[in-house]
Every structure is written in C-alpha cells, then in structure tokens.
Amino acid sequence: MERDQILLKLRERIVAFAASHVQGDIAEDLAQEVLILLHEKYHHVDRLEELVPLSLRIARFKIMSLRRKSQRRGEYTQVSVTDIQLPDLEADPATLVERKLMLERLTQAVAQLGDRCRELLRLKLQGKSFGEIQKRMGAQSINTVYTWDHRCRQQLLDLMGGGWEPEKK
Amino acid sequence: MSREEIQKLLGGYATDTLGEAERRALFEAALEDQELFDALAKEEALREVLQDPSARQQLIVALGPAREPFAARAWRWLRQPAALATAGGVAALLIVAGLVLHQTKHAHREAMVADAITPGPPAPVAAIAPSAAPQEAKKSPVVGRQLRRLAPLSAPRALAAPQPAAQSELAEGKLSTAPAAPPPQQPAPMATGALDGPAQANGQDVQVQMQAQAVISRNAALGSVRAAKAAPSAANLAVEYTLLLKDVDGVYSPVPSGTVFHAGDSVRLQVAPSEAGYIYLFQRNASAGWSLVASQRVEKAQRYALPSTGSLQSDQPAQLELLLVLSRLEQTAFANPQAADIDALASGASSPSAATAAPADFGARLVDARKRVGAPQASFKITIEYR
C-alpha cells in the first residue's frame, strides 16, 4: 500500500475516532493536524507498520491537548488551528502525572490476575514474542496464546474499570 | 487471519509483542475497520506507559515471581519433607492395601473351590465299573468342572508322603475331615488309590485345611466316577497316649514318657483316639501269647483309661508288651483272638519310635506308620519297662 493511500485511510479513521471524543469540526481539524505533522516532520516514514502507531500517538496527543485547553475555559479556543505549535511528543508534567496514576492502577490490577494471565503478561513485558510465549507456556498452538492473551486483556480491562484511562468528563 | 483472530492481536500492540507479520495484519485490518482502529487508538494510552522500562519493571515486580514449568514445580514439591512423607505414606498404604487385597482374593478363591467341590456324603460307587470313569467324566460337566477346579491343588504325588504336622492337625480334630465321621457299621465308601495319602502340611492351618478338604472332596468327586475300595475316612488313624502310675493314694497320675517302672507298679494307659471307633488293648504273655485286656467304644479326641478297671502290672522286672488297636469298626473276632491274627497285627504295628510330637499332657502320639489313609484299623505297639 502506498503512503498516500495509507494517509488517506488514516485521515478517515482519525476523524471518526476523534469525533467520538471532540466536536465534529474539531475532529476534522485534528485529523488534518495529524496529517500535516506526518507530512512535515515524519515525511521519511512510509511503512504501514510505522505510520499507524505514529499517527495514533499524534492523534492521542492532540486530543489530550484539546481537552486541557477546553478545561482552561476556552483560553485557546479562539486560536486558529494553523497557529497551533507542532508538538514534540515529549511528555509534559500533566501527562507524566496521568501516566503515573495509570501505572498505579495497573499495578493493583495485574496483582489480581490469575496465574496464567500473570505469567503471560510477565513474558510480554519481558519482550517475548507470541511464538516464544507459546513455547515457554507449552501451548499447543499460537492461536491458543492469542486466545489466552485476549481473555487476559479483557480481564485486566475489567479490573481497571473497563478502560486503561479513567473516564474523562 | 479472520477478524476475530486479528482482534486477539490487540493485546500484543501495547506491549510490543507482535511480530512484523502480526503488526502488518493488525494495522491493515485497522485501516479498514473503524471499530478495530478505535480499539487500537485506546491501546495507545497503555502503550505509552509500557514504553517506559521502569514502568515495565514495576509491573513485573507486581506480577510476583515467575511460575516454574510444571515439571520443575512438581519436583520441587516432591522434595519437600512433608510431601515426601505424604508420598511415602501413600505409597506404603497402597502397597499394604494391594497385599491385603491380593491375600483376600486368594483366600476367597480357595474357599470358593472348597465350598464348590465339597459334596455331601459320597454316593456309593460299588455299582459303577472302573472303566466307566472317563465316560462319566465326559458326560458330567459338573464333575468335569470340579476336576478342573481341583487341578491346581495338591498333586497326588505330593500327597503321598504324610507330614507330621498335617497328621497332627488331623488327629487333633482341628481339621475338617468331612464327610463327618461315619457310623462304624456302615462306613461311607470312598475312593483311594492314587489319592491315598494325608494332606500335605505347609505350616498354615487354613491351607492345610483347604488341602485336606480338597483331598476329601476330590476323593468324593472321583468316587462317583472311579471304582475304588471302600474306606471309612481319609485320615490316618492315630492315638495319643500316656502312662498313668497309681500312687499311694490309689490315684492314677501321668508320668513322663520313658519312665522306668518298678515291679509291682500299677499302670494304666490313657488314650485319645483321632477317630471314633473301637479300641482294643492286648497284653503279651510269654506263655499264653496275646490276650485282650480292654476293649471299648471310643469317640474322637476323648480320653479313656485302659483298662478301665484294674491295671497293668508286673511283679518282676520284665518288659510288658502291649498292643493297642484302634478300629473304625467293631472287631468281634477280638473277643477270642487267634494268636496268628494278633501276631500279624503286632508285626505291622507302629511303635513309639514312630511317634510324632504329642501334646504336652500326653506321653506320646502314635500315627499309623503304614500311612494308609482311610485304613479301617491301625495297631500300635507299646512297651513298658519294669525293673
């Protein structure tokens, strides 16, 4: 798949995703900002395996920024989208605090998992691939490991209240 | 990969567990599927956290120690003292249970064989010709089954030589010598021949009893198909005896075997037969030959003093030769015995040298030395020394 085709599909998906978090016109602008950033700063990235996670990360960053701005009573809402500075994707103090809180919740939740899920998550965190996990845990097939992981992920999500991040008002 | 399978890859996105092909499959699907794309976007929050190595390490610590493989866990568990003790106890229990079960089954099988083949009083076989035996055996499946069941038991050859312990058991009435003691006048016929011989003792009462019963039952079973000589019982005749010496108070008391008596001592013989029947006591007189001193009906294992009145006595140093005859049938001819007949009995009599171990309160135990199981009578020679 060519880069332009990928970006075209990415825009469509990002607009739909952002629309569920912000207002419709802002969602369009947000998607546009992501594509501009990919074009200007990450023009050398053209593989699907890199473009998708990168665009997801930028989109998340934009959404979080928008939320913070709106929380500050619309201080920056009058600013044109084109005037918004390009993000460096480095974590600001607020993001660091959010990550720390999320890590605490995660730490409490993983301790409540069953033996198999804990072992599976441990191996994943150690950087093992699904193939290696299959051998290590003695699973008959890789699909068995996929199924285990799917259930464990769902179990962990439930333990964390249904989402990785707390619901934001 | 199907959509469901691709959705299962979501869990590997945040932890960077996916391989190249898995990532490509997931992202291609996400570009076409908004729901999957949204799910992938939500994973981004977790991915950000897990990209920090310290955060990963914190979670690994929170997950606790790594779980060992099953074999390693089992081995470690087995090496614990409590587990070892438990496993050892269980193993010992299983072994004991197995042995008990095996012995129970063994005993039950033997008992079933004995019960199954123990007949009532054997039917008279006089009318059956010996040559009819094989045909009868073929015609009768019951008999055939009995014979097959009997096959593993003592072989006739092994039964040929009597063992003292077994004879002792038989004579003391510990063993079941069914069929029950027959009336002396009408002894129940039974087969002999190849099956002659006492039960072979092996030191275990139960086993001896089983074998004895099996021999009897086998005799009875074969009695219906084989012509044989009539015999009243399957056991060797035996007599336990001790000498009683009359003391100054006129009371007869047992004396140790080998006691040397003095001239004028009054002696009686206390006997206990192994079978019901008739007992006869003869005394040899140097001039007049054998004379009947006492005779009476006796019951199995009951004690009798012979003679019941009077005593055996010698007024001078001598050897008092006695002949004790135990017969299953009444011997009317003994009232006026022919010297030749008694001499013949005496010549074939068993002497104390053939005695086997006797109960503590008996001087000796005499068993028919000719080993004729089922013989109608047996004679025993006893010598009392007077000095």
Among B298, B304, B287, B303, CA closest to B339: B287
* Portion 110-129 of A in contact with B at CB < 8 A: 110-111, 113, 115, 118-119, 121-122, 124-129
- For position B374, what pLDDT does the model report? 64
Please name the residue of chain A whose CA is at the shortest distance from the CA of residue B40. A56
- For position B219, what pLDDT does the model report? 45
- Answer whether residue A74 shows pLDDT above 60: no
Cα(A37)–Cα(A14) distance, integer angstroms: 14
Out of A1, A16, A129, the one facing B17 most closely (by C-beta) is A129
- For position A79, what pLDDT does the model report? 57
Task: Give B62's contacts in chain A (Cβ within 8 Å).
Answer: 107-108, 110-111
Q: Tell which wins on pLDDT, B118 or A63.
A: A63
Task: Give A163's contacts in chain B (Cβ within 8 Å).
Answer: 42
3-state SS, B319-331, equals EEEEEEEEECCCC
Out of B15, B37, B46, the one facing A13 most closely (by C-beta) is B37
Spell out the alpha helix ranges (H) of B118-223: 133-139, 141-150, 156-159, 164-171, 205-223
Cα(B352)–Cα(B385) distance, integer angstroms: 13
Q: Does A144 touch chain B (CB under 8 A)?
A: no
Among B118, B107, B122, CA closest to B150: B118
Please name the residue of chain B whose CA is at the shortest distance from the CA of residue A132. B17
* Portion 25-64 of A in contact with B at CB < 8 A: 48-49, 52-53, 56-57, 59-60
Contact B63 A118 (CB under 8 A): yes
Q: Tell which wins on pLDDT, A119 or B178.
A: A119
Q: Does A159 touch chain B (CB under 8 A)?
A: no
Cα(B288)–Cα(B282) distance, integer angstroms: 12
* Rounded alpha-carbon distances, angstroms, from residue B78 to A111, B86, B92: 28, 9, 16
Among A19-23, A163-167, B91-95, B172-176, where is mean pLDDT lowest? B172-176
Residue B324 corresponds to which amino acid?
L
ipTM of the complex: 0.84
Contact B59 A125 (CB under 8 A): yes
Contact B44 A127 (CB under 8 A): no
Q: Does A13 touch chain B (CB under 8 A)?
A: yes
Residue-by-residue pLDDT tens, chain B, 387 positions? 777 888 889 889 999 999 988 999 999 999 999 999 999 998 988 998 898 899 998 899 888 877 766 677 778 777 778 888 888 899 999 999 999 998 887 765 554 444 433 344 444 444 444 444 444 444 444 444 443 444 344 334 434 344 444 444 444 444 333 344 444 444 433 333 333 334 343 444 444 344 434 444 444 444 433 433 444 445 678 888 888 888 888 888 888 767 778 888 888 888 899 889 999 998 888 777 888 889 999 998 899 999 988 888 888 888 888 888 888 888 888 877 777 778 888 777 766 544 444 444 456 667 766 555 567 888 888 888 888
Contact A49 B27 (CB under 8 A): yes
Is residue B206 within 8 A of residue B333, CB to CB? The reply is no
Contact A130 B46 (CB under 8 A): no
How many CB pairs below 8 A link A and B?
Answer: 128
Task: Please state, as a whole number, how many other Cβ atoms lie within 10 Å of the Cβ of residue B330.
Answer: 14
- For position B7, what pLDDT does the model report? 85
Task: Give B48's contacts in chain A (Cβ within 8 Å).
Answer: 57, 60, 91, 99
Task: Please state, as a whole number, how many other Cβ atoms lie within 10 Å of the Cβ of residue B344.
Answer: 12
- For position A80, what pLDDT does the model report? 58
How many angstroms away from the CA of B76 is the closest CA of chain A?
18
Task: Give B45's contacts in chain A (Cβ within 8 Å).
Answer: 60, 102, 164-165
3-state SS, chain A, equals CCHHHHHHHHHHHHHHHHHCCCCHHHHHHHHHHHHHHHHHCCCCCCCHHHHHHHHHHHHHHHHHHHHHHHHCCCCCCCCCHHHCCCCCCCCCHHHHHHHHHHHHHHHHHHCCCCHHHHHHHHHHHCCCCHHHHHHHHCCCCHHHHHHHHHHHHHHHHHHCCCCCCCCCC
Average pLDDT, chain A: 84
Is residue B307 within 8 A of residue B281, CB to CB? The reply is yes
* Rounded alpha-carbon distances, angstroms, from residue B18 to A133, A164, B4, B135, B325: 11, 20, 16, 87, 106
Please name the residue of chain A whose CA is at the shortest distance from the CA of residue B20. A49
* Rounded alpha-carbon distances, angstroms, from residue B278 to B237, B264, B275, B341: 12, 29, 9, 17
Out of A102, A124, A164, the one facing B15 most closely (by C-beta) is A124
* Rounded alpha-carbon distances, angstroms, from residue B248 to A107, B263, B313, B363: 109, 15, 15, 22
Provide the token pair at B287. 């001039």
Task: Give B17's contacts in chain A (Cβ within 8 Å).
Answer: 124, 127-130, 133
Helix, coil or strand: residue B105 = helix
How many angstroms away from the CA of B82 is the closest CA of chain A?
24
Provide the token pair at B146. 């009995």
Contact B17 A121 (CB under 8 A): no
Spell out the alpha helix ranges (H) of chain B: 3-7, 10-14, 20-32, 34-50, 53-62, 70-78, 81-117, 133-139, 141-150, 156-159, 164-171, 205-223, 339-347
Cα(B44)–Cα(B183) distance, integer angstroms: 108
- Answer whether residue A150 shows pLDDT above 90: yes
pLDDT band at residue A134, thresholds of 50, 70 and 90? very high
Out of A56, A91, A149, the one facing B11 most closely (by C-beta) is A149
Is residue B356 within 8 A of residue B164, CB to CB? The reply is yes
How many angstroms away from the CA of A66 is the closest CA of chain B?
16
Task: Give B40's contacts in chain A (Cβ within 8 Å).
Answer: 52, 56
CB-neighbour burial class of residue B23 (10 A; exposed 0-12, middle 13-18, buried 19+): buried
Helix axes B164-171, B205-223, angle to 10 degrees: 80
* Portion 60-119 of A in contact with B at CB < 8 A: 60, 91, 99, 102-103, 106-108, 110-111, 113, 115, 118-119
Out of B27, B30, B48, the one facing A99 most closely (by C-beta) is B48
- For position A163, what pLDDT does the model report? 86
- For position A165, what pLDDT does the model report? 81
Task: Give B6's contacts in chain A (Cβ within 8 Å).
Answer: none
DSSP symbols for B36-59 = HHHHHHHHHHHHHHHTSHHHHHHH
Contact B41 A60 (CB under 8 A): yes
- For position B90, what pLDDT does the model report? 93
Task: Give A105's contacts in chain B (Cβ within 8 Å).
Answer: none
- Asked whether the whole model's pTM tops 0.80, one would answer no
Out of B8, B20, B38, the one facing A49 most closely (by C-beta) is B20
Task: Give B16's contacts in chain A (Cβ within 8 Å).
Answer: 127
- For position A89, what pLDDT does the model report? 58
